[in-house]
Amino acid sequence: MTNTEAAGTARKTGTRKSAGTAAKAAGKSEPAPATELEVRNPATGALAGTVPIDTADTVAAKVRELRAHQPAWEALGPDGRKEWLLKLQDWLVDNTDRLADVLQSETGKARVDSLIDPAFSVDLTGYYARRAAKFLADEHPSPHSPLARVKQLTTVFRPYQVVGVITPWNFPLAMPVIDVIPALAAGAAVILKPSEVTPLSAVELARGWREIGAPPVFEVVTGAGETGAAVVGNADYIQFTGSTATGRKIAAACTERMIPFSLELGGKDPAIVLADADLDRAAHGIAFGGLFNAGQVCISVERVYVEAPVYDEFLAKLTAAVREIRQGVDGRKPEFDMGALANENQAQIVQRHVEDAVKAGARITTGGKRTGVGTLFEPTVLADVDHTMSCMTEETFGPTLPVMKVADEAEAVRMANDSIYGLSASVWSGDKDRAERVARQLNAGAVNINDVFANMFSFALPMGGWGLSGTGARWGGANGVRKYCRQQAITKPLLPTQTKEPLWFPYSPAKLTVAMAAMRAAGTRGLRRIDLPAIIKTVRGM
């Protein structure tokens, strides 16, 4: 669930303040449109803050302003932009505690989880700030043929003017930074629309940009689906992270406007535990991979396939590891490992998946219910599951780990690939070569061997989904900034030019014969390279 779908959730977790209260009291049937959103902590219900609901006209006006300031930002060049990005990095470091406070207030996360966002943001900002000049440098590809060596070939990377970034609620600071920073480094201006469930961290990021005195090329707009649609309707490139259902709508809207887009969508990531795995490491790693941030990670482990010989032993170790997780939310105290789900709708999805699985024959080995405090749901292990159950086929995005017994490696691969999603996966084995062989058979954009989330912290690798998990990718080293650029091809003569080229009008059969002979000699093989009679016949037949 993401921005446009979360509008209903926002009404459950908070309220929309309407300017029509007085009108309603006066007996009018239609209240005025809401102008403000209340943001509430899902664990406690406490009011975390309010944000305006930006209209389509407001979004369009902000995009026009960004478009006006973007040329000067681009003209600074990568090194000039680096200085501003590094100042923002300093600001992120200096304001880590405040950012964690704000983030925790709108998500109900455990304190440790709330500190991950600023730390991750600092790391990524430094990576792209310092490398953008290298990544965006002109390229001079080698000509494909000796005949083309009379030209210098250049590829130039020119940014889209305004990049629209639409982010979900699971990492309210890190998710914006993941895409905003590479786009700014590329020379684009950026308009960010965060989830209406957790907009406060994004507002803080924009405040930081203003506080360091940076050029006005980064804006945040807040609101629900209508605001997001306006971003899609006005920006020049769209980066969206969220559900497959919403991604389809955005893709259709972008295609209608003929603008490029990149989508990271749903996931149902499998973990394969082979019989030769270090079961202790696998149990602890999968517990973390499935339950970090209460399971609200795009690349969370959501399905576990275990070879039959070690199924019972692994299940016992996983259950023990999950039972060690300390759940709760208590301000700035660090003693809790896992906090709340982001909203009531998400808690209900998790509860439905667990209840449906149990009705179909699954066993709960630990957890399995809500705690009674806000949206907290116990970390849960489900045993003896299969692919008839929603917990194995639908995205849960919550603190559950369904575990299925498989006969062998081949069945594990087959079941792991039995999904509409393909974001990432993990393989656990004592034989790393075997694990890599299995990894290369999985239909996923990334596979971690004997680990989880490693690809998410490896900015040199691409992060993108296969199947209904999305299209395009973020990061991948240079591609992480180049994706926000239009590629421009420039050719420049290396030799003195003539008044007329040999192939310009009027055509000359003799010159055509020479030109075609040279092209054939340079591009073909064997005797075909020197078949001059055939060339003459072709020219005479023109």
CA distances from 386 to 21, 210, 295, 389, 406 (A): 52, 52, 20, 6, 10
391 catalytic? Reply is: no
The Cβ-side half-sphere exposure at 424, using a 13 Å CA radius, reads 24
Torsion of Cα atoms, 464 then 467 then 470 then 475, to 10°: 10
Fold (topology level) of 54-265+479-486? Aldehyde Dehydrogenase; Chain A, domain 1 (3.40.605)
- Where b means 16+ CB within 10 Å and e means fewer, 212-250 reads eebbbbbbbbbbbbebbbbbbbbbbbbbbbbbbebbebb
Token look-up 């200096």 returns 94
Marked catalytic residue, from 196, 204, 298, 378? 298
- Report the mean per-residue pLDDT for the chain: 93
Q: What is the DSSP secondary structure assignment for residue 327, as one 8-state letter?
A: B
For residue 509, count other CB atoms closer than 10 A to its CB. 11
Going from N- to C-terminal start, the domains of the chain cover: 54-265+479-486, 269-462, 501-540
Please provide the DSSP assignment of 328-390 as one string.
Answer: ---TT----SB---SSHHHHHHHHHHHHHHHHTT-EEEE--SB-SSTT-B--EEEES--TTSH
Helices and strands in the chain, H and E counts? 19, 22
Q: What local confidence, expressed as pLDDT, does residue 517 receive? A: 87
| DSSP conformational letter for 299 | T
Summarize pLDDT for 266-275 with one digit per residue, the tens.
999 999 999 9
The pTM of the full predicted model, rounded to 2 decimals, is: 0.92
End-to-end CA separation in angstroms for the chain: 62
Nearest CA to 160 among 473, 483, 489, 472? 483
pLDDT at 27: 54
Q: What is the gyration radius of the CA atoms in the chain, in angstroms?
A: 28
Report which residue type is found at 58: T
Task: Give backbone dihedrals phi and psi of 136, rounded to 5 degrees, phi first.
Answer: -100, 5
What's the pLDDT score for residue 17?
55
Annotated active-site residue in 264, 302, 378, 409? 264
Total Cβ atoms within 10 A of residue 96:
17
Q: Can you name the CATH fold of 269-462?
A: Aldehyde Dehydrogenase; Chain A, domain 2 (3.40.309)
Please tell me the total number of residues recorded for the chain in this structure: 542
| pLDDT score recorded for residue 2 | 37
d(CA 283, CA 266): 24
Strands 474-475 and 462-463: antiparallel
The answer to whether 45 touches 376, Cβ cutoff 8 Å, is no
pLDDT at 335: 85
Amino acid in the structure at residue 389: M
- Among this protein's residues, is 298 annotated catalytic? yes
pLDDT (tens digit, 9 = 90+) per residue, 160-198?
999 999 999 999 999 999 999 999 999 999 999 999 999
What stretches in the chain show pLDDT beneath 50? 1-15, 18-26
